[in-house]
Amino acid sequence: TYEERIGQEQVNRDLDLAKRVQQGLLPSKPPDVTGYQLFDFYEPAREIGGDFFDYIPLSGGRLAIVLADVSGKGVSAALVMMALSKDVRYCLASEEDLSTAVARINESFCKGGWDDRFATAIFLVLDPIAHKAKLVSAGHMPAYVRTPDGRLETHGDDTAGTPLGVVSQAVYESIDIALPAGSVVVLYTDGISEAMDQDQRPYGMERLEKMCLAPTDSAEETGRRILKDVERYTAGQIRSDDICLVCLGRT
Q: What is the pLDDT along the chain (251 residues), one digit of tens a residue?
A: 888 888 888 888 877 887 788 788 899 999 999 999 999 999 887 777 788 999 999 999 999 999 999 998 777 888 889 899 999 999 999 999 999 999 999 999 999 888 789 999 999 999 999 999 999 999 999 999 999 999 999 999 888 999 999 999 999 999 999 999 999 999 999 999 999 999 999 999 999 999 999 999 899 999 999 999 999 999 877 777 889 999 999 99
* Confidence (pTM): 0.94
Question: What's the confidence (pLDDT) of residue 20?
Answer: 81
Question: What's the confidence (pLDDT) of residue 121?
Answer: 97
CB burial string 154-165: b at 16+ within 10 A, e below: ebbeeebbebbb
DSSP 151-185: -EEEESSTT-BPPBTSSTT-----EEEE--TT-EE
